[in-house]
Structure 1
Amino acid sequence: MLLTLAAGGWLGLRYSTTGKQAQLATGYIAHVVCSCRYVGGRDMASCETDREPGTEVVQIEDDTAKRTVTARVPLLSSRTARFDPEYGCALDPP
């Protein structure tokens, strides 16, 4: 029963307005930070200054070997932006 309630709560939060905002925020941050790192050639400390107020909850993971940036809001959303030398940064499909 507790598992059912937890799953229902998670689904409700995931598909609520909060879940949609998390998806928007993770996509935005992944793209901005990827562009900063791999198009602009800046370090992560410098890229942190490009974040909009209110996006502090979004966690960032930079994979330099794959040239990807993944942004996450735990349990709600995760998006990855990938650098291509010809096209720049683009979000992977959700």
Structure 2
Amino acid sequence: MSSPVETKPKRNPAWKRRLWQAVPVAVLTGFAAAAFVWGPGMAAEARAGTDFGARIACSCHYVAGRPIDQCRADFEPGMTMVRLSVDEEAQEVTASVPMLASTRARYREGWGCVLEQWSG
């Protein structure tokens, strides 16, 4: 009878383990650097887009009486990331770019659609 041959499990060399540990750190560092460099400009553009989107969609819906899904036709090119939501009870439209900016515009009799007060 022969004895079974024992095989040792293969182990990754140390350098491969260190490489796989370094990859997530490098990716996160890259994202952090990109957010630091381009973040303020992106946030400002998102805020401008939501301001415009909220005002235009509110006027389209409450002043012109069009359905909110038709109001997107009045947006400028490049505003595909702006999302709209409507609160019929409060007569307001919220435009948002996820994780960057959000703006509300409320319909006021005699005034039309007015943007919310900027908080800073």
Cα RMSD over matched residues? 2.2
Distance 1:86 1:68, change over 3 A: same
Deviations 1:45-69 (A, max 9, x none): 2212111111010111011111000
Aligned to 1:54: 78
Give the share of equivalent positions with the same residue, in percent. Answer: 35
Please state whether the residue corresponding to 2:54 is helix, strand or coil.
helix
What is aligned with 1:31? 55
Q: Structure 2: which 5+ runs fail to align?
A: 1-27
CA distance in 2, matches of 1:76, 1:16: 10
- Bigger radius of gyration among the two: 2
**What TM-score, normalized by structure 1, do the two folds share?**
0.83
In the TM superposition, structure 1's runs of 4+ consecutive aligned residues that sit over 6 Å from their partners are: none
Q: Which amino acid aligns with 1:49?
A: A
Q: Does 1:16 align with 2:27?
A: no
CA distance in 2: counterparts of 1:27 and 1:45, whole angstroms: 18
- Give distance in 2, aligned partners of 1:24 and 1:12: 20
Name whichever structure is richer in strand by fraction: 1
Measured after TM superposition, the shift of residue 15 of structure 1 is: 5.5
Contact in 2 for aligned 1:14/1:20 (Cα 8 Å): no
Deviation at 1:12, TM superposition (A): 3.7
Q: Which runs of 5+ in 1 are unaligned?
A: none
Larger RCO (CA within 8 A; separation ≥ 6) = 1
1:86 aligns with 2:91: no
Which residue in the other structure is 2:20 paired with?
A: none
